């Protein structure tokens, strides 16, 4: 069963062609890593999936709903599609626990006692059960990103999108975040689409690696083919040789 389907999707910013003829299908429960040089369209692609960016042409189906159809309720899509951003987006005036409980309360109208239990369980899942009453300013960048992941998990989404979740972190904080993401991929049936430059994560967790450049998908391979074989696209081979030697 497909969770996400792109069919000949086109995206423009004015005259700039950001996404060109995107065709991509991600199965339910699959973990796909999206890589490529800066400006290749990775973040734009991932942001179209929950309607943060609109498309101009083509068809984008998420959890059976066509985002190009005007009658589609985008808020219904977002209930099932969580997103973890590069810069956390936590509310500074709320505690960690309040940040996690807010969306389930407002969007799902979850019972308050159940909401509280779920939030604590998600905090425990990301290894931060002892940080519940702190404010975001009291946390490290890595802790903030794990809180952001817990916040998304609290909605019990069917799909999680990660837009370069470790790129704003100090190197010593990256592993804690990646380990949480590995645990989600390993222990759940959740669909994950991850924009990242962390090749170790991709090697260990991904089912497939998708390479983008200049707004186009140039390679879409099982991880074994991409890393241990040879990508068929020359641009992908050059990118891979550079990133694996750094």
Q: Residue 9's closest CA among 52, 36, 42, 48? A: 48
Give residue-wise pLDDT tens across range 90-103: 999 999 999 999 99
- Residue whose token pair is 């904080």: 173
Residue 34 has pLDDT above 90, yes or no: yes
CA 141, CA 18: separation in Å to the nearest integer?
30
CA atoms within 13 A of residue 115's CA, in its CB half-sphere = 17
Q: Residue 96's closest CA among 127, 156, 157, 138? A: 138
Spell out the CATH class of 2-244.
alpha beta
Residue 246 has pLDDT above 70, yes or no: no
- Residue whose token pair is 């065709």: 23
Q: What mean pLDDT, rounded, does the chain reach? A: 93
Give residue-wise pLDDT tens across range 147-202: 999 999 999 999 999 999 998 898 889 999 999 999 999 887 899 999 998 999 99
Determine the average pLDDT of the residues in 34-52: 94
Is residue 88 classed as helix, strand or coil in its secondary structure? coil
For the chain, the straight-line distance linking the first and the last C-alpha, in angstroms and rounded, comes to: 37
The residues near 17 (Cβ < 8 Å, ≥ 6 apart) are 10, 11, 215
Give residue-wise pLDDT tens across range 92-132: 999 999 999 999 999 999 999 999 999 999 999 999 999 99
């Amino acid at each position: 069963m497909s969770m996400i389907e792109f069919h000949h999707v086109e995206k423009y910013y004015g005259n700039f062609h950001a996404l060109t003829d995107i065709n991509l299908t991600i199965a339910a429960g699959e973990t796909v890593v999206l890589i490529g040089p800066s400006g290749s369209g990775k973040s734009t692609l991932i942001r179209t999936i929950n309607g943060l960016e609109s498309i101009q042409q083509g068809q984008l189906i998420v959890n059976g709903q066509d985002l190009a159809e005007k009658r589609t309720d985008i808020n219904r899509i977002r209930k099932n599609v969580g997103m973890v951003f590069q810069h956390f987006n936590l509310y500074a005036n709320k505690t960690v626990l309040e940040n996690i409980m807010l969306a389930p309360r407002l969007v799902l109208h979850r019972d308050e006692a159940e909401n509280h239990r779920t939030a604590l369980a998600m905090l425990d899942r990301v290894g931060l059960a002892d940080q519940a009453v702190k404010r975001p300013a009291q946390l490290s960048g890595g802790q903030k990103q794990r809180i952001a992941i817990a916040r998304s998990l609290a909605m019990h989404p069917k799909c999680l999108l990660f837009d370069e979740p470790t790129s704003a972190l100090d190197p010593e904080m990256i592993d804690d975040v990646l380990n949480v993401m590995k645990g989600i991929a390993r222990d759940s049936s959740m669909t994950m689409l991850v924009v990242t430059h962390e090749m170790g994560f991709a090697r260990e967790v991904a089912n497939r690696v998708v390479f983008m450049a200049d707004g186009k998908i140039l390679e879409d391979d099982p991880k074994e083919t991409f890393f241990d074989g040879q990508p068929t696209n020359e641009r992908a081979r050059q990118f891979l040789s550079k990133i694996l030697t750094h």
